[in-house]
Structure 1
Amino acid sequence: MFIFVILGLLVCTEAQGISAGTPVFVLKGEDLLLNVTKAVVLGKFDDFSWKCNKSNIVRFTFNDKGASPHYTGRIEFPENNFSVKLKNLQEADSGVYTAVVMKDSGDETEAKYSVKVQDRASLPLLTVSSVSESSSSCSFTVTCSSQDSHINSTFTCDTRTCSQEGGERSEGIPDTFLQVYQSSGSIICNHSNHVSWTNDTNTIKDVCHQQDDPEGLSVCLVKTCVFSVGLIIMVSAVITVHLMEKLNKNK
């Protein structure tokens, strides 16, 4: 019984995918090729049409073709088949695009695409707050925000590593995502969609001074050690010269 339920769900899921069409994401201003992969042969009384949300884009007949006035200057026919290229897509061009052959015996769907036109992801903002430091560790909270959403994450760092809590991927408006994470000594706030991404960063050592030197030695401490060793050598040299002069006089 359980197996039949699973098989039924799989069949339903596959059917929904076919009904919705192949998902396609396009960057605003780019072109889209609506492709027919299998050979289509029109009879004398057959029509072939590309439709967007059931409205005609272009119609092919046995010996002619014509585009909708809305697509004048925005449509090309790149090949000697029924594929078409739409130019300079805008967000309003999002929709379900279907290739249909109309015959006396009934309509046949040859291709179907669910198209979403997206603008570039906006630049996010990374802000740091609630910094708490001790001699061995540092804890701070960051906020990664876009125009439509934000997420928070807390980092705890010592002289070598940082651990993170929160900052998982979050969805703002549909098909856009925010994520905050650490990489190569930086905190990265990433804003993305299906066609582009952008980010804002902050260096961990600018927030946590424990991270200035991965070996746990500060630059100031190294300079102090070098100066001290040099001073000892100089004093030893002066004492040695003074003793040598004294021994020479006593001979």
Structure 2
Amino acid sequence: MFIFVILGLLVCTEAQGISAGTPVFVLKGEDVLLNVTKADVLQDVVLFSWKFNDNTFLLTVNPGKNPNVFPGYSGRIEFPVNNFSVKLKNLQEADSGVYTAVVITLVGGETEAAKHKITVQDRASLPLLTVSSVSESSSSCSFTVTCSSQDSHINSTFTCETRTCSQEGGERSEGIPDTVLQVHQSSGSIICNHSNHVSWNNDTMIIKDVCPKHFDPEGLSVCLVKMCVFSVGLVIMVSAVITVHLMEKLNKGDP
């Protein structure tokens, strides 16, 4: 009878609103350990409980007794009684919310021992990077790419002159909370990245495949190329002069 009176007090306590709690991000299907963060309140405990969103009990426990796990969490909870932490298994999106550890003591009444805000996220989907337009001139190459995920897309424009490319645009948050699409360049490539707090995926294209005339794949400067061409031409000219001179000497019969 005593335990039911205490449970009634827990449920009927005036709601103060669900505070943020400590943010924790978990990959869908993984486990999470909910620790008690205020160990100093675990003195003279009459009843300890973990609650979900202030209105659903995961379990209750009286010191020295086995925990009472509530329907819906049977087989999904590990409870090491020595520290009142709990491990919640195989989390799904519906498990996102605020988890609160509540202690009732003989002298202190009801006290929060921990509060965690859990966000369960699926893996970031594989994005798709495509070229939507290309504009070339004698001095530069400009192209626009589209980075798409299942739920959103962004555009970014790159302008390349020889080996240098500048970028306009390329990042946005999606409608899905805590999910980001981003486009950036790195080491001669354009990278479309789709990420959240627990995973990421990307798609990549090579800039020289889009602008082969304006992005030197070998990394040679224009100046160096000109010097090589000039040197080869000079060697050919000197060789030709020497050859002509030798031919003239042979024709004259000089030894």
* Fold match (TM-score > 0.5): yes
> Which deviations, in whole Å up to 9, do the C-alpha atoms of 1:43-88 show, x marking residues without a partner?
47x1100111221112110221232242222222347210111122
1:40-189 correspondence runs (5 A): 40-41=41-42, 43=44, 46-53=46-53, 54-64=55-65, 65-78=67-80, 80-103=82-105, 106-189=109-192
1:171-250 correspondence runs (5 A): 171-208=174-211, 209-212=213-216, 213-216=219-222, 231-232=236-237, 235-236=240-241, 238-247=243-252, 249-250=253-254
Provide the C-alpha distance between the structure 2 equivalents of 1:58 and 1:102, rounded to a whole number of angstroms: 14
Provide the C-alpha distance between the structure 1 equivalents of 2:146 and 2:27, rounded to a whole number of angstroms: 27
Match of 1:29 in 2: 29
2:19 aligned counterpart, secondary structure: helix
Match of 1:11 in 2: none
Cα shift at 1:111: 0.6
Provide the C-alpha distance between the structure 2 equivalents of 1:250 and 1:41, rounded to a whole number of angstroms: 114
* Deviating 4+ runs (over 4 angstroms): 221-234
Q: What 5-or-longer segments of structure 2 have no aligned partner?
A: 1-15
Q: Which one has the bigger helix percentage?
A: 1
Letter in 2 for 1:129: S
Provide the C-alpha distance between the structure 1 equivalents of 2:36 and 2:154, rounded to a whole number of angstroms: 42
**Compared with structure 1, are the counterparts of its residues 30 and 199 closer, same or farther at alpha carbon in structure 2 (3 Å cutoff)?**
same
Q: What 5-or-longer segments of structure 1 have no aligned partner?
A: 1-15
TM-score (norm 2): 0.79
Cα shift at 1:132: 0.5
Cα shift at 1:121: 0.3
Number of equivalent positions? 233
Identity, in percent, stands at 64
Cα shift at 1:164: 1.5
Provide the C-alpha distance between the structure 1 equivalents of 2:152 and 2:221, rounded to a whole number of angstroms: 38
1:147 aligned counterpart, secondary structure: coil
2:36 aligned counterpart, secondary structure: coil
